[in-house]
Structures are given as C-alpha cells and as structure tokens.
Structure 1
C-alpha cells in the first residue's frame, strides 16, 4: 500500500525535475524529499529514478507510476471533498427503521426538518417490527431503529446499541361510533369481555392476551392484521373491536370509528436505538435529535 504523502511528493519531483525543486514547492527540506522517495521505492519494491548527471530519469516502474499518479491524487482529493461534505452535513445518508405507527407519526416531522435544514442529507425509511428492527441496527443495516416494548414484554437489546427513550404510548380501544361504550371517555377492558376482537402484531397481540388474562377472560379473536388501516376498516364494518396504541389515533381515517382510553392504564414504551459508534456520525446524531424532538410533541411525553 502506498502512502498518499509519498505519491504527492513523487508527483512534484516528476513535475519539477529534482528533489531540490520539489522540496521548495512542497515547503520541505531536500533530505526529507529524498527520504520519502526512498520509502516509496521500498514500498513498490523497485527503483523509480536513476541519476543522469545532476538530473533524474524515471525508470520503467517510475513511468508506470507516473501514468497513475494524477488519477490517484484526483481520487484522494474527491474522497476528501466527499468526506468533508458528509462531516459538514452537506451530504450523507441516514437509514431509519421504524414500526408503522412511529413511521406515520414521529418520523414525518423529523424528516421534514432534516430536509429543510440539510437538503443534501438523504433519509431512507425502512419498516420493521422489533425484535427484527433491533437486529438490523446491531448488524449496521440501519442507522437508527425505532422500537417498542410492553411491561414484561420487551425485546432483548444487543449490548452494542445505545438506547434512547422517546415516549410512553397509552393503549386505546377502537369502537364503532354507535357502540354503547363509545359515549364514555374511557373504557374498562373487563367491560369488553364479551366482544369479538381484531388482534394486531405478534408483540401487541401477546400483550393484549396477557391483559385480558389479568382481567379474567379469554378474548374471542375474529382475525389478526398488522395493518392499522385494515384494522380500522374492520372495526368500522362491525367485524370486531381492537386495542391500539394512542399513536394510531392521529391517523384515524374512518368517521365510523372512535378511540377511547383503555383501563386499567397500560402504556407501551417507545425507544430509539443506535449503534454506539454511529453516534459519532454527524447525520445520524442530528437525525436522532430530530426524532427525539418530534417524539416530545406526541402522546405520553
């Protein structure tokens, strides 16, 4: 592997025709230039110059290296410019993996502010549920993962990930607007024991079954869906009722569906996870700040 400093010095020696002239051009001493060229010749394993009188002549190896020197230096300069742009947030990429309700509520504002303030930084959105989202972050396949957990039902967090609490998200029940309990501000889970239910994602479903067991009944689950819009449509059509986090209420689309706080109060916790080394990347750190700021405006914070 060639030292880039030696390549630049070699380029100037060829350009100026001597070690002395190259030293003046680079602000070095003549012995320093001579030492660098000897080091470069050791790296390449063959002489690059021969002396002809007081001058220098390129060997065949030196001529071969000369043909590549400009391209090497141009590539190094381009790389440095690109790195500087990333460090100064003029360009870059942040990959965010989020579960659907966070992608619909927390991320839009954070992404909009990032685009307005740093238009050269591209935010790429991926959707996945925990624990897979945590595994993606731990493998470096995303930069930030948004994930949730319930009391007693949290996914194991890989030790290489840093954890940031975003908010607590209370659970609500989706009811048809004509339901007798829809007139209440909050609804007790035990009062819904005789209902038919639409269950959600596996982790949400497991928490729901546990909550029902604590209230002394086993729910009649008519069907299961991970899609919040499908769930709303099913509730609107009278197929069943559903327990959803309050974040979902911000994109409640059906006029025939209403949400009520569920008692006893249960809250899921929402977190952001980042590889500890990725916290030193400016674009990732800034996007995390934007996500945390957006979460402060949501429920439960």
Structure 2
C-alpha cells in the first residue's frame, strides 16, 4: 500500500531531478527524502531510480509509477477540494422526502432560498405520505423526511431520529361554490353531518372519522384519495365535501371550489425528521434552515 507522502516526494524528485532539489522544494532534509524513497522502493519491491553520473534516472518501474503519480495526486487534490466545499457549505446533495401539499408549498420556497444563497447545494425530491416518509429516512433512502401528525396520543419519533417542528397547519373544509354554508366565514363541523365526504390519505381519513365522532356523527365517506387535485375536482363536481389542510388552499385550481375555516378549529403539526447523527452535516443543516424559514413565512400568511 502506497504512503501518499512518499508519492508526493517521489513526484518532486522526478520533477526536479534530484533528492537535494526535491528536499529544498518540500522543506525537508536530503536524508529525509532519501529515506522516503527507500521506503517507497521497499513497498513496490523494485528500484525506482538508478544513478547516472551525478544525477538520477528512472528505472522502468520508476517510469511506470511516474505516469500514475500525477494522476494519483490530482485525484487527491480534487477529493480535498470537494470535501472542503462540503465543509464550507458550497456543495452537497440532500434527499428530501415530503408529502404532496408540502411539496407544492414549503419545498419550492425553501429550495429557491437555498439556491439563491448556496447554489452548490443540490436537493433531490421524493414524495411519500407519512409514516412512509419516515420509514424511508430509517432505510437510508432520504436525508430529511417531512411528515404531519394530528392531535392525539403520539409515539414520538423512532430511536435515533430527531423531530424539528416546522408549523401548525389549520384544517379547512372544501365546499363547491354555491353551497349554502359557503356564505359563512367559518363552518361548524356538526353542520356538515348530512354531507357526503371525500376522504384523503389513510392518516387523514382516520383523523376525519375521529373529529366527526367527537362532534356526534359518522361521516358518509363516498370516495377516498390522496391526490389533492382529485379531491378538488370531486368537490367541484358536487360529489362531496372534504376536510383539507390550509396548505392546499394556496394551490387550489378549481374556481368552483371554496375553502372555509372549521369550528372548532382543527390543526395538524408539520415537522421535519432527520437522523440524529446527520444533523451536523452542513448541507442538511442548510436545507433544514430553509424549510424553517419557508414554514415561518407560511405561518405568518
């Protein structure tokens, strides 16, 4: 196995033509250079230099190593520059796994800020609903997972995972334009007891059943989908009403759909999750900071 110090010294000897000249270039003593070259020759098992008068000439093995030495040192230099860039936050790749409404709202703002301030950092985006997003984090398939949770007993993050709360997202009811309750600023959940309902992802559907039960009724769920655009289309067509997070309101596409606050107020918590030992990675910290900024701006809307 080569010692990189010996390769650097060998490269200087070849470049300058003598041990003494290489020693001056490197700031070593000549005996130190001689000892390093003897150690290198022992590691390769053959002589690298032969005396030629007062100078040195490369043996066949020395010429072969000289051809590779420059490539080896160039690769080491490139690796050092890349690691330095990562340490100084100029570069790095961060894989983020987020649920759809965060992908459409928090993620664009966060990435725009990140690119403006640190263009060397690259974000790779994956999409999954919780808890699958956190499972992907545990499997090493992403570096940051965005997930939401509803009020109630919570098990907390898995061992070795840190939760960073980002915001609380108010839940709203989506109604077709022209619905009698659409004239109100806020709608009581109990007043929707006779409506047909469009449910979201499994976690959202479970929360819908729970909050409706607290208000004394069981919702008539006629359709379930985790596609926000499909929910809007179904509501616009009059198939049913839906309980949706406020994040969705900012990218509603249908003019025939309106959102109203729900009474009592219902919220979900949006958090970022990261492996505890990865929290100190500079690029990961940058992305987390950008997500916090984007969430704070969204909360203040």
TM-score, normalised with respect to structure 2 = 0.89
Partner residue in 1 for 2:238: 238
Partner residue in 2 for 1:285: 285
Deviation at 1:45, TM superposition (A): 4.7
Deviation at 1:42, TM superposition (A): 4.5
Instruction: Say which is worse superposed, 175-184 or 87-96, in terms of deviation.
Output: 87-96
Kept after mapping to 2: 8 A contact 1:189/1:215: yes
Alpha-carbon distance between aligned partners in 2 of 1:52 and 1:226, rounded to the nearest angstrom: 79
Give per-residue Cα distances to partners, 1:104-136, cap 9 Å, x unaligned: 111111111222222333222221112221122
Partner residue in 1 for 2:191: 191
Partner residue in 2 for 1:162: 162
Q: 1:240 to 1:153 in 2, by over 3 A?
A: farther
Instruction: Say which is worse superposed, 71-80 or 146-155, in terms of deviation.
Output: 146-155
Kept after mapping to 2: 8 A contact 1:149/1:155: no
Partner residue in 2 for 1:22: 22
Deviation at 1:153, TM superposition (A): 6.4
Alpha-carbon distance between aligned partners in 2 of 1:162 and 1:116, rounded to the nearest angstrom: 27
Unaligned ranges ≥5, structure 1: none
Q: Give matches, 1:1-150, under 5 Å.
A: 1-49=1-49, 55-150=55-150
Alpha-carbon distance between aligned partners in 1 of 2:94 and 2:273, rounded to the nearest angstrom: 13
Q: 1:183 to 1:26 in 2, by over 3 A?
A: same
Partner residue in 2 for 1:268: 268
Instruction: Say which is worse superposed, 245-254 or 181-190, in terms of deviation.
Output: 181-190
State the Cα RMSD in Å.
Answer: 2.4
Q: How many residues align?
A: 301
Alpha-carbon distance between aligned partners in 2 of 1:136 and 1:45, rounded to the nearest angstrom: 49
Deviation at 1:221, TM superposition (A): 0.9
Alpha-carbon distance between aligned partners in 1 of 2:140 and 2:57, rounded to the nearest angstrom: 50
Alpha-carbon distance between aligned partners in 1 of 2:178 and 2:190, rounded to the nearest angstrom: 19
TM-score, normalised with respect to structure 1 = 0.89
Deviation at 1:273, TM superposition (A): 1.6
Deviation at 1:55, TM superposition (A): 4.8
Alpha-carbon distance between aligned partners in 2 of 1:155 and 1:204, rounded to the nearest angstrom: 17
Unaligned ranges ≥5, structure 2: none
Deviation at 1:209, TM superposition (A): 1.4
